Amino acid sequence: MRNLLYIDGAFVEPAGGGFMDVIDPATEERYAQAASASCADVEAAVAAARRAFDHGPWPRMPAVERAAMLRSVAAAIRADLEELAWLEMRDNGKPLKEARWDISDAAYCFEYYAGVAEEAAAEGDVVQDVGDERFHCRVRKEPVGVVGAITPWNFPLLMAAWKVAPALAAGCCVVLKPSELCPMSCGALARYLHQAGVPAGVFNLLTGLGQAAGAPLSAHPGVDKLAFTGSQATGTRIMQAAARDIRTVSLELGGKSPFIVFADCDLDKAVEWIQFGVFWNQGQICSATSRLLVERPVYEALLDRLRRAAQRMVLGPGDREGVQMGPIVSATQQRRVLEGIERGRASGARLVTGGGCPAHLTRGYFVEPTIFADVPVDSWIWREEVFGPVLCVRPFDTEEEAVALANDSRFGLAGAVMSDDLERCDRVAGALRAGVVWINCSQPTFTQLPWGGYKASGIGRELGRHGYEAFLEVKQITRFDFGSDWNWYQSAAEPSK
Ligand code: NAD
């Protein structure tokens, strides 16, 4: 399998002729290759997107026509769901079942934004009364222009869909740079958009490395808006690049999200959601609830249940029946996760379970589900994102203490609270400084709802109507109605006014 670039409506070889190996993390073997874009390809893709936006039909066509094309992309994704889920599993390592959820969500994302585009068009301009009848004022929203979308490897097609679908629905033109670790499903997306009749230049795909393709894309003055999901370090570089000529950015970055469990809840239900909150996708989840705060009376009992549940988890290649956790995405990420675990041991935290690679899996980048208890609040492992299957646990005595510990983080993407007392849950939800709060669950994500973080977890929101507005500029149009009172300048200058 060999994926090309997609620029100006054509699948093309990269200008420099380079291809990257794509590794299956369960076998450690190369299973595909993807084109490696360089500066010349970035120039060509941005120029094509610029032409399509400035002179092409896409931003000017009725929203219903754009929506029809997005719906056929959704249908194509659904038709190929099984094939795409396999691709995602081989690229990323995730269990096939989880890959199917992702692909189905990606299809729905295109359908949803098709509907939003039609809804927004039906609403039209908003007329604004300014208290002076000589002026007729309206507020209009217009596409922001050419979007540079840069995405990570943990949900390859879905993270691309979260940006591409609303941007195209809004009438923008897009240059997408997916992660070099998992580029294959975005190649399929380019085919679907092409087949749906999306005009040349409206969507462009640059697979390639961060430094060689992502950096020149984010620095390009022809890009009006940068939409990024990934690490804080890269987010900072992208913001710096955009700051040079004041371009808009939206950033979805990392987290170290808390999960507060009160003693009155059902511990089995708590175990279920805590596990899902940190071990799903091998813990490679920006919103992972990786800091667990447990009310002291049930602290040891819950730890014991969590230990047993973690030890029962089935690890293996994603296509094997019953597998709950696949490998980490790459050898480098596996090393980073293991280094994080070593820091945990060195911090003096108590290792409850896991802490290494499973002995029975000799091939693949597997890491055991790992739990640390009594984790010091000033330790690296409590404060920094591991981006792997590692849970840190601490006890608390009062609601105030739990909220203070939860909010004591430079991140603020998500948080969860579990208790039978729903009033208390609402109080805690209100007190958490995070963009997403789950009550009595962790991680369910809905396309219709805003997604994004406070503090160092990012800027802006994706998904829902907010995720569509993020690709719009706001324009006021003010008309003066000539009447008997046409000399407004002179009359407005009167001090009596
Ligand atoms: P990363 O920052 O290394 O890479 C993300 C993307 O940026 C990739 O496409 C990469 O090629 C590109 N890139 C790298 N260097 C670049 C540069 N100098 N200029 C422009 N682009 C560059 O992140 P990752 O390792 O792919 O993803 C993991 C991180 O993403 C974690 O920190 C995680 O929390 C975060 N994440 C956040 C969300 C969210 O919604 N908030 C979702 C998924 C992942």
* Contacts for 315 with CB less than 8 Å, ≥ 6 apart: 323, 324, 325, 326, 358, 361, 366, 368
Of these residues, 98, 111, 180, 252, which one is catalytic?
Answer: 252
pLDDT above 70 coverage of the chain, percent: 98
Give the span between the Cα atoms of 297 and 99, in whole angstroms: 38
- Say yes or no: CB of residue 186 within 6 Å of ligand 1: no
Task: Report CA-CA distances (Å) from 25 to 92, 340, 364, 387.
Answer: 7, 20, 5, 16
Instruction: List C-alpha distances in Å: 301 to 146, 275, 294, 296, 336.
Output: 54, 15, 10, 10, 31
- Cβ-contact 333, 367 below 8 angstroms: no
* 159-169 mean pLDDT: 98
From CA 12, how far away is CA 3, in angstroms rounded?
9
Judge contact between 461 and 467, C-beta under 8 A: yes
For residue 493, the model assigns a pLDDT of 58
Q: What is the pLDDT of residue 497?
A: 47
Q: Beta strand 135-143 with 146-150: parallel, antiparallel or unpaired?
A: unpaired
What tokens does 79 get? 């038709």
Phi, psi of 276, rounded to the nearest 5 degrees: -60, -40
Could you tell me the distance, in angstroms and rounded to a whole number, from the CA of residue 162 to the centre of ligand 1?
Answer: 14
The per-residue pLDDT for range 190-242, each reduced to its tens digit, is 999 999 999 999 999 999 999 999 999 999 999 999 999 999 999 999 999 99
What is the strand order of the sheet 472-480 is part of?
126-128, 135-143, 472-480
| Contact yes or no for 466/450 (Cβ under 8 A) | yes
State how beta strands 411-412 and 454-455 pair: antiparallel
Strands across the sheet with 29-35, in order? 2-3, 29-35, 19-24
Identify the band that residue 260 occupies on the pLDDT scale cut at 50, 70 and 90: very high
Mutate to test the pocket of ligand 1, among 150, 287, 328, 383 (most ligand atoms within 8 A of CB): 150
Beta bridge partners of 204: 175
Residue 4 class from Cβ within 10 Å (0-12 exposed, 13-18 middle, 19+ buried)? middle
Residue 178 CA, closest ligand 1 atom number: 9
What's the token pair of residue 81? 């769901």
Q: Which of 182, 286, 357, 425 is catalytic?
A: 286
327-381 pLDDT, tens digit per residue, is 999 999 999 999 999 999 999 999 999 999 999 999 999 999 999 999 999 999 9
Looking at residue 482, its pLDDT comes to 85
Atom of ligand 1 nearest to the CA of 413: 41
DSSP 486: -
Q: pLDDT digit string (tens) for 452-463?
A: 999 999 999 999
Tell me the per-residue pLDDT of 292-342, one tens digit each, with 9 for 90 and over: 999 999 999 999 999 999 999 999 999 999 999 999 999 999 999 999 999
Mean pLDDT calculated for residue range 163-188: 98
Q: What are phi and psi of 55, to 5 degrees?
A: -125, -10
CB 377 within 8 Å of CB 406: no
Residue 257 to residue 272: CA distance in whole angstroms = 17
Q: Which residues lie closer than 8 Å to 256 by C-beta, 6 or more apart?
A: 290, 291, 382, 383, 384, 385, 409, 411
Per-residue pLDDT of 54-93, as tens digits, reads 999 999 999 999 999 999 999 999 999 999 999 999 999 9
Q: What is the DSSP string of 228-241?
A: EES-HHHHHHHHHH
Cα–chain center distance at 474? 24
d(CA 148, CA 101): 26
Closest listed residue to residue 187, CA positions, set 156, 159, 152:
156
Ligand 1 atom nearest to CA at 333: 25
The pick from 286, 289, 332, 390 for probing ligand 1's pocket by mutation, whose C-beta has the most ligand atoms within 8 angstroms, reads 286
Is the distance from the beta carbon of residue 36 to the nearest atom of ligand 1 less than 6 Å? no
Residue 432 in this model has a pLDDT that exceeds 50: yes
Residues 6 or more apart whose Cβ sits within 8 Å of residue 417: 259, 260, 261, 262, 424, 425, 428, 429, 432, 437, 438, 439, 440
150 Cα nearest atom in ligand 1: 9
* Ligand 1 pocket member 205 (CB < 6 A): no
Element (H, E) at 373: strand 370-373
Residues contacting 439, CB < 8 A, separation 6+: 416, 417, 418, 422, 425, 426, 429
CA-nearest of 286, 231, 49 to 148 is 49
Do 117 and 340 form a contact (C-beta atoms < 8 A)? no
Backbone φ/ψ region at 248: left (φ over 0), alpha (ψ -120 to 50), beta: beta
Indicate if 401 belongs to the active site: no
Q: Whose CA is nearest to atom 21 of ligand 1?
A: 214
Is residue 59 a contact partner of residue 472, using CB atoms and an 8 Å limit?
no
Measure the CA angle with vertex 408, ends 402 and 412; round to 5°: 100
The b/e string for 478-495 (b: 16+ C-beta within 10 A; e otherwise) is: eeeeeeeeeeeeeeeeee
DSSP-assigned letters across all residues of 345-366: HHTT-EEEE--S--TT--SS--
Q: Which two tokens stand for residue 276?
A: 């899902």
Residues 111-149: tens digit of each pLDDT: 999 999 999 999 999 999 999 989 999 999 999 999 999
Q: Is the CB of 458 under 6 A from ligand 1?
A: yes
